[in-house]
Structure formats: C-alpha cells, structure tokens
Amino acid sequence: MIKKDFVLSYKAQVIIACGVSAIITLFAMMASVMAAAGTANGGGEAILGDPAAIKVGEATFYQNCVYCHGSKGSGGSARALQCRDMKPDYIFETITNGRINGANVMPPWKDTFDEKARWQLVAYIRSLRTLPECDSNN
C-alpha cells in the first residue's frame, strides 16, 4: 500500500517536470555560453591538454618566464612550477595579475599576453606536473 502522503498529484508532477526541464535548459545555455567564451579566450581550460597549445606555451615560457622560474619551471628566484598540481584558474590568475612575494616581483602579464597566450602558458605549466624528474625527486 502506498500512503496517500507520498503520492504526488498530477499538477505537482507537471510542475516538477517543467522545473527539471528548465534547469536542464539553463545548464545547456550556460555550457553553450562557456564554450563560446572558451573559443573567444583561445579555448580557456579546453586547450589544457592540447599538444599544440603546450608547444606554443613552452616557447612563450622560454622567451619570458625562464629568467625567474628556471628551465622547465625548475625554480630559481621564484618557486618551482614543475611537479606541482596547481589548479588552472590559479595559474591563469597569477599570470594575469602577477605577484609580489618578498624580494620576488612578478609583473602582471595581462597587458603583455592576450587570454589565449596566457592559457597556452597555463597549458605548458600544467604539463610540467608529470615530468620524469618529478618521480626521481620523490
């Protein structure tokens, strides 16, 4: 026997169905907007595993970042970037706005690199978390 309290009326079922449908539609729209934004900003997080993006990011890194962060992000005056599982947004935000840490000063790069170039850098830096030397260091 089903207790009456747990039986939903037809009206309630329609309302719930509409609500779920609306939420699904909303999520679909958001995903669409995010995808569009991702395209506009050079792929955003979507390019993180893209070998081509990593290669471009690597060249940008060697032209601009190696002075402080060392080859393959091995660290120097700034902290090592390799063998660290940093969140993409965190890396992107730091590149964008820079950082001051004691004597070390990293300028903001938002006036130097467009979003696409910054995400390509993120892609390269993310690729450094699984280098062979990470195993030997551990």
Give 64 or 88: the residue with its C-beta nearer to another protein: 64
Give 1 or 103: the residue with its C-beta nearer to another protein: 103
Residue 22, judged by CB atoms within 10 A of its CB (0-12, 13-18, 19+), counts as: exposed
For the window 84-123, what string marks contact with another protein as x by the rule CB under 8 A?
--------------x-x-xxxx-xxx-xxx---x------
Helix intervals (H) in the chain: 10-40, 51-64, 66-69, 88-97, 115-127, 132-137
Q: Which residues of 67-95 are buried (b: 16+ CB within 10 A; e: fewer)?
A: eebbebbebeebeebbbeeeeeeebbebb
- Does residue 133 belong to the site contacting another protein (CB under 8 A)? no
Alpha carbon distances (Å) from 88 to 12, 47, 79? 43, 11, 17
Residue pair 129/62 in contact (Cβ under 8 Å)? The answer is no
Q: Which residue has the tokens 């569009």?
A: 36
Footprint of another protein on 9-68 (CB under 8 A): 58-59, 62-64, 66-68
Minimum CB distance to another protein, residue 79 (Å): 8
Among 43, 53, 54, 69, binds another protein (CB under 8 A): 69
Give 21 or 55: the residue with its C-beta nearer to another protein: 55
Minimum CB distance to another protein, residue 55 (Å): 9
Residues lying near another protein in the complex (CB under 8 A) = 58-59, 62-64, 66-72, 74-80, 98, 100, 102-105, 107-109, 111-113, 117
